[in-house]
Amino acid sequence: MGRARSGLVRGIPVMSFDQSKSGGAGLERSCQGAASSWIASAKPVGGVELFRAWLAGDAYQKHRHDTYAIGVTDQGVQVFDYRGSAHISMPGQVVVLHPDEIHDGRAGTEDGFGYRIVYVEPAVLAEAVRALRGRPYPLPFVRDVVSSNPTLGHAVADAFRAPLESLAIDTVIVDLARGLMAGERGAVPPLSRRVDVAAVERARQFLDAERTRVVHSSELESITGLTRYDLCRQFRAMLGTSPHRYLLMRRLEFARDRIHSGQPLAEVACDAGFADQAHFTRVFRSAFGLTPRRYRALRTNHQRVSERPASTRLRRPRARRGFAAD
């Protein structure tokens, strides 16, 4: 497999009850078996979502998401399959997963692992890359899934230092763009002149606004002035995924907000525009690797661990290298 590599994913889900959320300094674990795994996330702001987890146990299911996932392993070992190869993540290493790429994940040892990860919408990264390069460019592609990229490592650490405010988000996005560009290999050609940036942006905004209903190709053709096939190509070039996939992920964002508020899953499925709860479960699992019910249980585990008196919790050792302790 070459050098150690790590894999961090949006809503990385474990198939067993051994899942958890953990992150930067002060990560705490429960002493109770099933409750030792947990996940915690902040509401997306400005195209950026912060996610922390402590996970132990069996393999995650295969899934994919429509954002960049840029993370740092804080402790333990993670093994995952991505782009046809198995990778291993060790403490302090930086992991980059690209939009719409199928991957899974599992703990490499019985001890489990903790990590912090930043999910970034391709649209905001594309804007930052355009500003840095002075003209439109394709989305960055980093061939090394795992690296010691210091720019990315420090950007992830900075994102978790304090609550994200507007200017802080801008800085994090630019630093992540710089790090991704530094990790590219070879010359990167500019986007084709045939890509209509404004038209793609109109389509994206329309999909954001209509995320809880079925959107027809003819509607997007009318809004953009492009054929459905041209739009598909250009949308992926700019945003890293298809219009349909983008719409599904916006529905899932809506659904997760409702789950966080404690709404029953059947109501969530209906309000988010899915045909039924079974349809909602299939789409959710394909995006996050676990069912909505399992996702809700993991968040409950995190709340229970957080509310437990400090004397009953185990505090993780401080990482000895890399960016884990930042």
pLDDT at res. 310:
55
pLDDT at 281: 93
Output the pLDDT for position 191: 53
**Domain check: are 260 and 181 in the same one?**
no
pTM above 0.85, yes or no: no
We report the CATH number of the domain holding residue 260 as 1.10.10.60
pLDDT reported for residue 238: 86
User: Which residues, given as ranges, of the chain have pLDDT below 50?
Assistant: 1-35, 59, 312, 314-326
In a domain? residue 125: yes
**Rounded Cα–Cα distance for residues 248 and 254 (Å):** 10
50 and 180 both lie in a single domain: yes
Is 156 part of a structural domain of the chain? yes
Element (H, E) at 82: strand 78-82
Domain with residue 106: its CATH number is 2.60.120.10
Domain contains 232: yes
Q: Are residues 244 and 97 in the same domain?
A: no
Res 39: pLDDT: 87
**Which pLDDT value is given to residue 20?**
30
Please give the structure tokens belonging to residue 219.
């509607």
Are residues 184 and 261 both part of a single domain? no
- Residue 118 is predicted with a pLDDT of 96
Instruction: Check whether residue 235 and residue 109 sit in a common domain.
Output: no
DSSP H or E stretch at residue 158: helix 150-159
Predicted pLDDT at 40: 87
Give the pLDDT confidence score for residue 176 in this predicted structure: 93
User: Any idea which residue has 């490592």 for tokens?
Assistant: 153
Last residue of a domain, one of 157, 188, 219: 188
At residue 192, the pLDDT reads 54
Residues 46, 124: one domain? yes
